Amino acid sequence: MAGPLAPLPSGPDESPDLAALEVEGISKTYGSVRALTDVSLSVRTGRIVGLLGPNGAGKSTTMKAVLGLVRPDAGRIRLFGQDVAADPPRAKQQIGYVPESPALYEFLTGAEYLDFVADMYGLDAATRTPRIQQFLAGFELAGHEGSLISGYSQGMKQKVALIAALVHRPRLLVLDEPLNGLDPRAARVTKDLLRNLASHEGVAVLFSTHVLEIAQAICDQVVILSRGTVLASGTMEALRARAGLAGSGLEDVFLSLTGTGDLGDVVAALAR
């Protein structure tokens, strides 16, 4: 069994106080549906920020706006001080993205797909080959890279999506439910790698998950969205204080702040 992945080298040295990502007052409407209203958040270099919220809260829309896949109706997004809208291709070069449901080219083999992604980022063969091999080994995909992605399990496809997000050494990672379908070992490798990249390489991470235990374990700060607005943000200690739940876990804090803490009647009704 291969050992844990070694951390990727980072980009230029950066101040720990530098804001990698600044989302300032963005709003988005789809027809008559208000998806986001005046959403603001920031992710500093070397920090992991958890983006949490109920289904339909606006998490994926926020992430797609950061990527330039959705254009906000109002507000501004800066990446390392530069307006993303001013130079979208340059912004995308600095971001690694894993969507909630990765859409891979399933008629390609794993190796062909990762080569294709490396081509898009301009990585030459001497750079990409050892990097891709390192990831294949670390995620236990070595020996499967020659098979068509259409024959991969959900977890294997998720691993390919993660490798594709990391292969170009991004300075910001935008990860929407990145642990979906992963086996326990791969999930642990991913969590430890993210923590290592943030702590030692200065990579900034915006991380969405419905598994609150994961967010509590690896996130430096948390932003809670509800109905397209920022309901609360801060460290775990700050959120506990706001909820009046000192010493509580993130699940209790989350349920309290989103107004869904008392579920006894719901559970009782379902159990009848």
Confirm whether 4 is domain-assigned: no
Question: Cα separation of 99 and 165, whole Å?
Answer: 10
Confirm whether 250 is domain-assigned: no
Question: Cα separation of 60 and 100, whole Å?
Answer: 8
Residue-level pLDDT at 131: 96
Residue-level pLDDT at 98: 96
**Residues sharing a CB contact under 8 Å with residue 216, sequence separation 6 or more, in sequence order:** 236, 249, 250
Confirm whether 167 is domain-assigned: yes
Q: What is the CATH number of the domain that holds 31?
A: 3.40.50.300
pLDDT of 172 higher than 50: yes
Burial of 237 (0-12, 13-18, 19+ CB in 10 A): exposed
pLDDT of 8 higher than 60: no
pLDDT category at 249 given cuts 50, 70, 90 is confident
Confirm whether 129 is domain-assigned: no
Other CB atoms within a 10 A radius of the CB of residue 219 amount to 25
Confirm whether 198 is domain-assigned: yes
pLDDT category at 21 given cuts 50, 70, 90 is very high
pLDDT of 174 higher than 60: yes
Confirm whether 242 is domain-assigned: no
State CA 243 to chain mean position distance.
Answer: 25
Overall pTM surpassing 0.95 (yes/no): no
Q: How many separate domains does the chain show? A: 1
Q: Are 36 and 27 in contact (CB under 8 A)?
A: yes
Work out whether strand 172-176 and strand 95-98 pair parallel, antiparallel, or are unpaired.
Answer: parallel
The proportion of the chain whose per-residue pLDDT surpasses 90, expressed as a percent, equals 65
Please provide residue 223's backbone torsions phi and psi, each rounded to the nearest 5 degrees.
Answer: -120, 125
Work out whether strand 221-226 and strand 204-208 pair parallel, antiparallel, or are unpaired.
Answer: unpaired
Tokens at 71, concatenated = 């254009």
Residue-level pLDDT at 262: 55
**Partner residues linked to 34 by β-bridges:** 29
Q: Which region among 38-42, 96-100, 237-241 has the lowest average model confidence (pLDDT)?
A: 237-241
Mean pLDDT for the stretch of residues 134-143: 96
Write the pLDDT tens digit of every residue in 102-126: 999 999 999 999 999 999 999 999 9
Residue-level pLDDT at 266: 46
Dump the DSSP string for 218-236: H-SEEEEEETTEEEEEE-H
Q: Name the residue range of residue 219's domain.
A: 19-107+161-234
**For the chain, what is the mean pLDDT?**
87
pLDDT category at 40 given cuts 50, 70, 90 is very high
Write the pLDDT tens digit of every residue in 80-107: 998 988 888 888 889 999 999 899 999 9
**Residues sharing a CB contact under 8 Å with residue 186, sequence separation 6 or more, in sequence order:** 139, 140, 155, 158, 159
Residue-level pLDDT at 90: 83
Confirm whether 51 is domain-assigned: yes
pLDDT of 211 higher than 90: no
Nearest to 160 by CA among 182, 176, 128: 182
Confirm whether 14 is domain-assigned: no
Tokens at 31, concatenated = 């027809």
